[in-house]
Chains A and B, each alone.
Chain A
Amino acid sequence: MPRLRLDVALTLLVLAALALAPLLGFGANHYLTLFARIMILAAAAVSLSFLVGGAGLASLGHAAAMGVGAYAVAILDAHRLTDITIVLPVAIVAAALFSLLTGAIAIRTEGVNFIMITLAFGQMAFFTASSLAPYGGDDGYTLYDRTEIFGLRLMENRLFFHYLCLGFLLFCWGFCAMLLASRFGRVLRAARENPLRVQAVGFAPYPFRLLAYVIAGTLAGLAGVLFANATEFVAPAYMGWQRSGELIFMVILGGLGRLSGAILGAVLFVLLETWLPNLTTHWKMIFGPLLILAVLFMRGGLIGFLGARRG
């Protein structure tokens, strides 16, 4: 019987707190908005952690896949198609297709070039979104309606939306953990450690990596669907490299190599980003050095800092 690891226990605690928060007096709208942001970005960060920590593919364009999902919602909304039976399949197909096309080229490269080419694809998506004049162009697009679930306007119920986001985060965490533990995940992790040996055993890493890239991108796209619904707004900045950098930051801050780290990192990141501007308008002058100190002194991220042993 494996001992419950500290990082998993802590993450479960955070998730329990999020589940109970609306019932414990944190039900006001501004709290729920903050929680939704935390949970959705955490889900996207988990999918990125699966990609970076699991498959060893450090993508600096993950926000683009998230943005594709968000833009699927916006574009359908402009044509008054808001039911989940249409939105969800379109978003999934769009995010998966985008990841398949960009991944097929990107995964041919390695190391730094992979980081740069994913960044390039992210920028392409960003500029494409800026050119979509009927859907807001540079200024972004405000949704008419949140996505309807079989004709019911459930997403407008803030409590329902809160638990939907929580459920999606749990799903991402569980699904990615399951994938990593599976045979597929073992090949991925082995290819990350030693691609040559994996090839010698008779596996070509490329299709495995590509599939991982598509899965992570699709999950990010789904997070994008929720994000568009949470903010009722979509803008090209959702796809920019700064957002991708923030997602990477959440993953590293929490601790690479642990999916739960991405969740803790996202919680800490969003809380800092929300709280620091209260102190000073120049909060980035505090945030930047914090980031540097975190990288220099917290090797292994929060989880490494907390002393959880690598399994």
Chain B
Amino acid sequence: MSTGLFLVQALNGLQLGILLFLVAAGLTLVFGVMDFINLAHGVQYMLGAYLGAALAAATGSFWLGLLWALPAALIFGLLLEVLVFRHLYDRDHLSQVLATFGVILFLNQAVKAIWGAAPLQVPVPALLEDGVVLMPGLQYPLYRIAVLCAGIATALGLWFLVERTRLGMLVRAGATNAPMVSALGVDIRRLFMLVFAFGAMLAGFAGVLAGPIFSVEPGMGDHVLILAFVVIVIGGIGSIRGAFIAALIVGLTDTLGKSLMPDLMRLFLDPSAARQTGAALASMLVYIAMAAILAFRPRGLFPARSG
């Protein structure tokens, strides 16, 4: 594999990692603060993508679509919280898994009923249509660079919010020991609603950004959800820093694995078998990484909870 191709794949991997981080950030906080497993977090990413696509088509501008999709995703997250999730906080994890699985079934099908099963195409905004020359003769789409920058900026903003503000302090305290924070007079339910809505919006934001890169289709959230769970488990539940590092690890492993593995397998197998085996092995890599990390650090790399 040439250096140029490797560079492109590494950038793609970073960008997948950044998108995963945006999804995983909300998930890990919700998980950390309220000990609530939200499988429906992936459909919030999907909804973001659909809202972005629909609103962009309606307003004729990607940017207006993005602007409107964010509050829409936020409101939708709040709606789900009030209707379903808040009744599940004091239930066991399996009940939460099941009820949120029900939400996934419903929303995946609802999206299919409204927009059809065929993937939607979202055009790249005109401003970012060009490419950037990475090396002589090697262009990289500007839009993908923009996604990378937007993601990193959001991650920095999130870091500031969580590490340097009073609200963030409460969230971190909630992730470490929720009953204690509650005993000190903080309305943990309201704090959680805030975290939840914000997390839904971040997932929606990731969805809008992903729209022009990946195809917007029903079920697109499921794959991201599983990867986001891998991210938060590797990173340690409730830890933003852990989620960031784990998201980059998972994004790079997945993308580089998918491009390198088939080549690697070709050393041992004939080309067609190498392609299939390599692709499957590459899909497995992140799970192998997760199992290996959990085998040695059962609580993830940076566990937030004290014990």
Contacts and interface: CB of A to CB of B under 8 A. Distances in A.
A52 interface: yes
Interface in A258-311: 282-285, 287-292, 294-296
B297 to A, nearest CB: 10
B276 A58 contact: no
A144 to B, nearest CB: 22
B295 A291 contact: no
B158 interface: no
A147 B10 CA distance: 48
Interface residues of B, number: 47
B291 A121 contact: yes
B298 A109 contact: yes
Interface stretch (B18-26, B56-64, B98-106, B133-141): B98-106
Contacts of A105: 291, 294-295
Interface stretch (A29-37, A69-77, A110-118): A110-118
Given A60-B97, A295-B99, A131 B109 contact: no
Interface in A123-140: 123-124, 127-128, 130-131, 133, 137
A249 interface: yes
Interface stretch (B145-153, B171-179, B279-287): B279-287
Contacts of A58: 93-94
B93 A288 contact: no
B288 interface: yes
B294 to A, nearest CB: 5
Contacts of B31: 112
A292 B279 contact: no
A52 B95 CA distance: 12
A284 B226 contact: no
Contacts of B87: 296
B113 A289 contact: no
A245 B291 contact: no
A238 to B, nearest CB: 16
Interface residues of A, number: 43
B107 to A, nearest CB: 8
A63 interface: no
A113 B294 contact: yes
Interface stretch (B185-193, B199-207, B209-217, B229-237): B229-237
Nearest to B102: A291
A68 interface: no
Interface string B114-155: 000000000000000000000000000000000000000000
A288 B103 contact: yes
A108 interface: yes
A116 B229 contact: yes
A148 to B, nearest CB: 31
Given A116-B229, A127-B280, A288-B105, A256 B94 contact: yes
15 contacts: A109-B298, A111-B93, A117-B290, A119-B229, A120-B287, A130-B280, A131-B277, A133-B272, A133-B273, A133-B277, A285-B105, A294-B98, A295-B98, A296-B87, A296-B99
Interface of A: 52, 58, 60, 105, 108-113, 115-117, 119-121, 123-124, 127-128, 130-131, 133, 137, 241, 245, 248-249, 252, 256, 282-285, 287-292, 294-296
